[in-house]
Structure 1
Amino acid sequence: MIIGCASIVFLGRVGQATSSTGTNFEFSAITGCIVGGTSTLGGSGTIIGAIIGTIMMASLDNGMSLLNLGTTYQYLIKGLVLLGAVAIDISSKRK
């Protein structure tokens, strides 16, 4: 149901729908959830944290687009953010 609502909002924003619409959004969604505190080791995470992490990733995406960074650099920065979040998660679980 939530995907349907998000699809309608995205369709209104873009103005068209194709079979490839929304491709590569999953990376930003997963990164947002992990940045928001969802553990990669399982067992913990909150909806509020996932929403906050996703808003942070959307802000990062928007900022990089406004700076006219190339797609390669955008994925590189998002990947580094993901690696940092996973490293912090794993190091906090070891203690």
Structure 2
Amino acid sequence: MASKREIFNTEQAKRQCAIEIERFRLDGEKWRSETERYRAEIMQARMEAERARTATEQHLGEVQRERYIMTLRVDGVTSRHELAAKGVASEEIDQVLPL
């Protein structure tokens, strides 16, 4: 009977080991490329989320600015009516409260 060392040193065993090593190497490359692809997808999703957050903040700023302008206009109209009720001339009101 052949010893274990002789069995593992045969050409067939060496070829089998080389095949297994190549298989492991290819699997490693496959998983590495999959990992890189997933990381790229994560980065893309994060960038899209950041763009959406920025757009939302910008829209919120625009809405707040519009509300502020509307409030000023309402306050201006109210003040106009109050001044007109007190007998102030409309020309003077236009100088003080232009709409």
TM-score (norm 2): 0.27
Ranked by relative contact order (alpha carbons within 8 Å, sequence separation 6 or more), the top structure is 1
Answer 1 or 2: which has greater helix percent: 2
TM-score (norm 1): 0.28
